[in-house]
């Protein structure tokens, strides 16, 4: 055997690797989807007492601030900052405030306009966005109830009251759950909305025993219906899919609850330390003010007159005097810790400047827009989810109305346009100044469209272009034909 072959043979033997044993890990989830939705709802509600009760009942919440209990006699005031609710309300307000309407083209446009007038669509959108951000998803439902209206009724159900039945990853059925009470007995009505049908089923009690619909007065008049299988009288809405619960939406509170918990702990400790750093007055007993009515020493008032009584010093040359002492309070250190916790809570969700938090005093408009970028990204995701859901909602509502009146639904709402305004754009005056520059490489049509966006329709924009050209001395004449030139 040659020396090279021998060395290679030895190396093969030396470098032989054995595969690792396959290991199985068992990790138990803290909460299911319903429990997680309930927890996120509590964070949104922002009640400190409810948060404390919830985490005290959670078996695996050890170490969290809201689960911990202080030693007897050393209790601290646990304070909730309310940041989660402020975040959600601000984002929902931005989305609903920028909503400019849904337009259905064609001969059925007036039907949708009547439906919008009767249903408060803007309030419905704000509630839908709020629940989607907190819970993760939800669904719109189109109902036909002649006792309420001759037009379809638009409703929104939050994710904890909705189940999605999927087939090959696509939603084929949406189940809406509504709880009723007859005395102390709970009843759950399940409304199954699918393509071409609506089915109802009523369950009684915690054992979920199926009972007839006429068991309750509220459900006695409900009957299953069938219609054209080309549409469903419901549509789901979610911003991002959840990795923890497949097939469901992801809440913006996912991965943030521990950060909110740390933020509350930081703020509570800050105020506790500030309370303990109040100045203490040491006063000799003969200098303590006395009650003019009976001459007794006045007791200190915890609000405006706190002091500690000292025995008078009777030594030679001693002087009785009032002494005030105050511990050193590291306010800058607490402030820095709070800012860090707040930044982590807002990170990836919303910009601090959107909430009115002044991070740096920069008056530059471009710098202000840079600080709003995180909010713009989140707003874009919300509007994308909202646009798709509203398009399906308008289509389903118009088709439901036509089905109710036994009219054909083909091409009923093929073209649906959802419009939203701009956010954190330059001011209107700055846009006019920029676009009025004659050196701007844009046509008059492009400038008008950029300036007014979706706030004006196409006919108005065309008239505005004609007016601008007329004022600028630009005249559009018909192109002369060859025959007219010869005759001229």
pLDDT digits (tens, 9 = 90+) for 245-270: 999 999 999 989 999 999 999 999 88
Q: Pick the closest to residue 136 from 160, 156, 155 (CA basis).
A: 160
Asked whether 350 and 87 are in contact (CB, 8 A), the reply is yes
> Please, what is the average pLDDT of the chain?
81
Question: CA 449 from chain center: how many Å?
Answer: 31
Q: What distance in Å separates the CA atoms of residue 380 and residue 219, rounded to the nearest whole number?
A: 40
pLDDT average, residue stretch 444-456:
71
Asked if the model's pLDDT at residue 363 lies above 50, the reply is no
Identify the pLDDT of residue 136.
93
The full set of domain ranges for the chain reads 278-326, 430-474
What are 37-57's pLDDT values in tens digits? 999 999 999 999 999 999 888
Residue 181: what are its φ and ψ, rounded to 5°?
A: -125, 130
CA dist 305 and 125 (Å) reads 53
Whether the CB-CB separation of 415 and 105 falls below 8 Å is answered with yes
Does this model's pTM top 0.95? My answer is no
């Amino acid at each position: 055997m040659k020396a090279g072959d021998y060395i290679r043979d030895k190396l093969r033997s030396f470098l032989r690797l054995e595969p690792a044993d396959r290991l199985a890990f068992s990790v138990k989830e803290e909460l299911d989807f319903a429990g997680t939705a309930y927890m996120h709802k509590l964070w949104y509600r922002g009640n400190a007492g409810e948060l404390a009760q919830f985490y005290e009942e959670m078996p695996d919440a050890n170490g969290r601030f809201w689960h911990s209990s202080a030693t007897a006699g050393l209790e601290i005031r646990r304070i909730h900052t309310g940041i989660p609710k402020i975040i959600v309300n601000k984002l929902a307000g931005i989305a609903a405030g920028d909503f400019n309407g849904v337009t259905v083209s064609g001969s059925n446009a007036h039907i949708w306009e009547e439906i919008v007038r009767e249903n408060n669509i803007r309030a419905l959108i704000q509630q839908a966005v709020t629940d989607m951000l907190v819970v993760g998803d939800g669904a719109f439902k189109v109902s036909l109830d002649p006792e309420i209206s001759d037009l379809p009724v638009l409703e929104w159900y939050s994710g904890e009251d909705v189940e999605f039945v999927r087939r090959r990853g696509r939603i084929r059925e949406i189940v809406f759950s509504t709880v009723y009470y007859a005395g102390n007995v709970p009843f759950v009505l399940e409304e199954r909305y699918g393509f071409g049908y609506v089915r109802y089923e009523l369950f009684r009690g915690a054992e979920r025993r199926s009972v007839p619909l006429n068991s309750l007065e509220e459900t006695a008049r409900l009957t299953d219906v069938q219609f054209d299988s080309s549409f469903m009288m419901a549509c789901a809405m979610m911003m991002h899919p959840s990795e923890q619960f497949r097939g469901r939406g992801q809440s913006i509170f996912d991965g943030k609850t521990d950060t909110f918990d740390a933020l509350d702990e930081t703020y509570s400790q800050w105020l506790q330390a500030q309370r303990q750093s109040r100045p203490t007055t040491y006063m000799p007993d003969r200098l303590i003010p006395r009650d003019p009515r009976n001459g007794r020493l006045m007791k200190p008032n915890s609000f405006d007159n706190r002091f500690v009584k000292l025995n008078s010093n009777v030594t030679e040359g001693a002087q009785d005097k009032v002494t005030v002492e105050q511990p050193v309070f590291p306010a800058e250190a607490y402030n820095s810790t709070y800012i860090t916790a707040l930044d982590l809570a807002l990170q990836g969700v919303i910009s601090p400047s959107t909430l009115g938090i002044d991070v740096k005093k920069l008056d530059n408009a471009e710098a202000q827009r840079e600080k709003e970028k995180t909010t713009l990204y989140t707003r874009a995701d919300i509007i994308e989810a909202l646009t798709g859901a509203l398009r399906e909602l308008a289509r389903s509502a118009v088709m439901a109305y036509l089905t109710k009146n036994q009219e054909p639904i083909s091409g009923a709402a093929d073209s649906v346009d959802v419009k939203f305004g701009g956010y954190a754009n330059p001011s209107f005056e700055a846009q006019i100044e920029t676009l009025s520059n004659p050196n701007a490489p844009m046509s008059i049509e492009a400038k008008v469209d950029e300036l007014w966006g979706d706030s004006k329709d196409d006919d108005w924009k065309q008239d505005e272009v004609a007016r601008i050209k007329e004022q600028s001395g630009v005249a559009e004449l018909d192109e002369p034909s060859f025959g007219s030139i010869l005759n001229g």
